[in-house]
Structure 1
Amino acid sequence: MALTTAVSTSGDTDKQIFIGKGTQEAWLTLALGNRHGLVTGATGTGKTVSLQVMAEGFARAGVPVFASDIKGDLSGIAEIGEGKEFILQRAKEMGLTFQPDQFSTVFWDVFGEQGHPVRATVSEMGPLLLARLLDLNDVQEGVLNVAFRVADENGLTLLDMKDLRSLLDAIVPKTVKKDEFDPLAEIRAAAMSFGNVSKATVGTIQRQLLVLENQGGEKFFGEPALELKDFIRTDRDGRGMVNIL
C-alpha cells in the first residue's frame, strides 16, 4: 500500500519542509537538515510516516535521499497514493490540504533480486575490510595484504572472488625444474620479496573465501561497482532521487 502525505495549504517552501501539525505546525529548516535527528514513539504513533514526509520534502527540494528500509514501509513513495476517506477527513480536521504525490525511486538490493544490485570490486574492498569479513588472524591478514600489494604493483585489478582466488594461488611458492618455464615467476618473486607465503596459510584463506561464497558473497563482488554518485542524482524535474535499500 502506498503511503501518502497530507501537506499544509502553503506546502513546503524553498527554506522549510512541512513535517506535520499538532497544536501548532512543525517545520524542518533545510539549512539545518544536515544535523543528526532521532524520531521516537510507540507503535502506531507515526514514526515511519514522519520519516517519509522528511524524505519527500528533501526530494521535493532537490536533495537526493537514501533510506534503509528493512520492512518495505517506504516503497509506496514511488506511487501516487489513494486519498481514502479517513485520510481526507483527518486532513480537513487539521486544516490541511491533502495532496498525493509520487517520487522518482531507485530500489537497491545486495543480492540483486528485488532491486539494482549493490556491488563492489575486491580491489575496492581492500585487504583490511576483507580480512575482517573473512575473520582472518594476523598471519593470514598479512598474506592477504601481500596479495593486494602484488596486484597493485603489477597492475592487476581484482574484480571478483575468482580473481582473488587465482592471485592467491599464484603467490604460493612453487618448485620449478631448471628447464621448465613458469609464467607466474615474476608474481611469485614479487610476493616472496615481502616475506614467506606458506601454502597452508593461503589454503586457509581459500577456505574462508569458500564459506563467504556459500553465503552468497560472490553476488556482492563484481562490476559495475557502486559509486557514491549513484546515490546523488536528481530526476528530470530537478527533484532528488529517493534511494531505498
Structure 2
Amino acid sequence: MSINFLIGGNEKTQVHFSAKTANRHGMIAGATGTGKTVTLQILAENFSKIGVPVFLADVKGDLSGLATSGKMNDKIQSRIDTIKIENYSNHANPALFWDLFAQQGHPVHTTISEMGPLLLSGLLELNEVQTGILYSAFAIADDNGMLLLD
C-alpha cells in the first residue's frame, strides 16, 4: 500500500509526496517568503497523520500553531479552491514543546559533557580566546577521564 499526500499545487496540477520514498532526515531551504515554513508544516502534519514521529526545531515559534486547530479564513479557502483540495478540515496535531529554560514547555536536561565546547561556547557567546580556553578545559577533562556534569 502506498501512502501519498498532497504538499502543494496550482490551478493546473497537484503535487503529491510518497511517504514510501521519504528520508529519515531532510532540509528545506529557500529565500524569505518562498514557503519553507508552510512546506515544513504540511510535511509534519501529514507524517503525524500516518503515525510517523516528527521532530522540528522551531526557534522562532512559527510552527507552534500545529498544536491547535486553525480557523478558516478567505486566504485558506482561496488556496483550497485553487488547488482543489477535497475534504479539507482544520485539526490540531499532537505536539510536545521542549524548553531549555523549563519555563513554558517540557524541560530539556543535558550535561556540559553532552553539549561539548562548540555548543557551549555559542550558548555563552564566548569570544575567540574564551572559546579556546573552554576547548582546553574539555581536552584536559577528557585526558583525565573526568565527566563535566554540572
Q: Could you say whether these structures have the same fold, taking a TM-score greater than 0.5 normalized by the shorter chain as the test?
A: yes
The separation in 1 between residues aligned to 2:135 and 2:110, in whole angstroms, is: 24
Q: Residue 99 of structure 2 corresponds to which residue in structure 1?
A: 109
Unaligned runs of 5+ in 1: 1-12, 152-157, 162-245
Contact 1:48 1:73 survives alignment (8 Å): yes
Q: Residue 111 of structure 2 corresponds to which residue in structure 1?
A: 121
Q: Residue 90 of structure 2 corresponds to which residue in structure 1?
A: 100
Question: What are the Cα deviations for residues 70-103 of structure 1, in whole angstroms up to 9, with x where unaligned?
Answer: 2111011001100113322331233223311111
Higher relative contact order (CA 8 A, sep 6+): 1
Out of 85, 90, 94, which is 2:74 matched to? 85
Q: Residue 128 of structure 2 corresponds to which residue in structure 1?
A: none
User: Are the structure 2 counterparts of residues 102 and 139 from structure 1 closer, same or farther at C-alpha, using a change threshold of 3 Å?
Assistant: closer
TM-score for the superposition, normalised by structure 2: 0.73
Residue 105 of structure 1 aligns to a residue whose secondary structure is coil
TM-score for the superposition, normalised by structure 1: 0.47
User: Are the structure 2 counterparts of residues 57 and 14 from structure 1 closer, same or farther at C-alpha, using a change threshold of 3 Å?
Assistant: farther
Out of 14, 28, 34, which is 1:38 matched to? 28
Number of paired residues? 136
Query: Which structure has the greater CA radius of gyration?
Result: 1
Q: Residue 75 of structure 1 corresponds to which residue in structure 2?
A: 64
Residues 1-245 of structure 1: matches in 2 within 5 Å? 14-22=2-10, 23-34=12-23, 36-43=26-33, 45-97=34-86, 98-122=88-112, 125=114, 129-130=116-117, 133=120, 135=131, 136=133, 140-145=137-142, 146=144, 148=146, 160-161=149-150
Residue 77 of structure 1 aligns to a residue whose secondary structure is helix
Q: How far apart are residue 69 of structure 1 and its match?
A: 0.9
Question: What are the Cα deviations for residues 165-203 of structure 1, in whole angstroms up to 9, with x where unaligned?
Answer: xxxxxxxxxxxxxxxxxxxxxxxxxxxxxxxxxxxxxxx
Unaligned runs of 5+ in 2: 122-130
Aligned residues: percent identity? 30
RMSD over aligned CA atoms reads 2.9
Q: Residue 170 of structure 1 corresponds to which residue in structure 2?
A: none
